[in-house]
Amino acid sequence: MTTLSEQAQRNLDQWLNDESIDAATKEELQGLQGQDKELEDRFYRDLEFGTGGLRGVIGAGSNRMNSYTVGRATQGLAEYIVSAHTGEGKPSVIIAHDSRHFSPEFSLEAALVLAGNGIVAKLFPSLRSTPELSFAVRNLKATGGIVITASHNPPEYNGYKVYNNSGGQLVPHEAEQVISNIREVSSFAAIKRISREEAEQQGLLVWLGKEEDEDFIQAVTAISVNRELLQGEAGKALNIVYTPLHGAGNLPVRAGLERLGFTNVSIVSEQEAPDGNFTTVKSPNPEEREAFTLAIKLGEEVDADILIGTDPDSDRMGAVVKDPDGKYFVLTGNQSGAIMIHYYLSQLQEQGKLPSNGAVIKTIVTSEMGAAIAEHYGATVFNTLTGFKYIGEKMNQFEQSGEHTYLFGYEESYGYLAGNYARDKDAVVAALLISEAAAYYKQQGKTLYDVLQELYEQFGHFQESLESRTLKGKDGVAQIQGIMESWRTDSPAEIAGVKVSEALDYSKGLDGLPKENVLKFLLEDGSWFCLRPSGTEPKIKVYFAVRGDSGADATARIQQLTAAVMQRVDG
């Protein structure tokens, strides 16, 4: 017979006895009596507020996403916002949400808690993209921002991402202050909250809309480097299929494409409307080929040149292009990034607009191919930890010092940003930029697949892959910790017959970066692999990268490396 741990029982009792918890929630919890495994998972801890905020399964419990955990987090955030506000008047926070279950309710709950703390909550009334939130924080000079989203997680999840006044996600030292404040919220009764009517009457709840949308579209389309070409025949000639995967990208991506001159755009109708169940896909993640099944079907019907997909909060973009046999080839995040860097920088150079102090920023688990291309065009390449918040932080440093001009930032996980208007990855600008590149090269008789092969010939046959293992619940957390400690304390001298030249433990704070639980192993032949627990899902991720003499050589190398590493991980 299973019994609850002391911590889980304490948390459960607190919820059942707290007068602030509504009767329906208590009834739900009482109905779970006897289901100790379920109750243990719901209550063995408080849902962790990481550097990106909250993310978890929706439901009642301290380790779940619900109005109470959202309210508690917002109370802690409110105290941070008040202390961080230095301007005149009241501090303000912009709030946006995507199409997930309870996103509107959680958004309003956060707004009313902020209002209860004397903070002006500026709320989008319907779904908006994460990058628009980042832009709006900057554009409206807000003190901070919140997005209610779980990005590309499964339907049972939701989340809560927090932004600072630069429009970037909180970096560790900021998040630590919020976390400290949240821990001080001893009961739900301590949460300051007022009603919607009171908040609106006092001017503490303000609704945003079309004006902010238009400002965002103008900022995104300004990144185009060949607008005149697109307004001519090139925009009309490119045949695009787009799927928003039931998320927030539908309106801004289509508006941006139309504004630039792309008139031949087909939408995957089954995935056009918002749907928190994401009923047409296993996972609403453009990183996975399965998410493009319907887009590929439509692409074959209309003979599309390029297929584009964006995730629910429209901060990740995936692209599919035709290979020489006319089959659809799904680009990896690294490949799309390399193509966009090459196109964007080459066009700026051709037009005499490439700054001499240009900078490209990537993460430590992103391919070196984009770096090689950027350096070819004279840009300086910077590496950050995984998470676009670190890229945004670097952008702020450049803005303040003037030492470098930011050009492009990206992650292998399909996150890109060209331009300075936001501080988070933007699937909208990525969709426009890769479409523009496809249109430009189509005028030269090339597909993006052709361009990719040319880049391999010029810069080397880079190849990358990612393996992940999902390990859920309390036991899963322990398993992931065990795997990391095993590799940390018993580093291999060689892998797949190749000597390990260096073992990098980022938990020690390497290269001036914040400390993070990441291990990266560099091999003598230029290959590398990296182990990293996901910050948003119950997963451990293992990244691999090689550089071969040919495509076949790179494939053989990465297969051998992956097999050797995963044998130990799974063992």
The kind and range of the H/E element at 97 are strand 92-97
Query: How many degrees, rounded to 5, is the angle at CA 185 between CA 41 and CA 57?
Result: 30
The torsion angles phi and psi of 113, rounded to 5 degrees, stand at -70, -40
62, 99, 129, 151: the active-site residue: 151
Nearest-Å Rg of the Cα atoms of the chain is 24
Tokens at 3, concatenated: 């019994």
CA distance 426 to 292: 19
3-state secondary structure of 238: coil
The kind and range of the H/E element at 94 are strand 92-97
Q: What is the DSSP string of 500-530?
A: EEEEEEGGG-GGGPPP-S-EEEEETTS-EEE
Q: Is residue 186 flagged as an active site residue?
A: no
Residues 6 or more apart whose CB falls under 8 angstroms from that of 383 comprise: 361, 362, 363, 364, 511
Query: How many degrees, rounded to 5, is the angle at CA 107 between CA 424 and CA 56?
Result: 75
The kind and range of the H/E element at 307 are strand 306-310
Nearest in space to 491 (alpha carbons), one of 480, 505, 507 = 505
Is residue 536 within 8 Å of 492, Cβ to Cβ? no
Tell me which residues are annotated as active site. 151
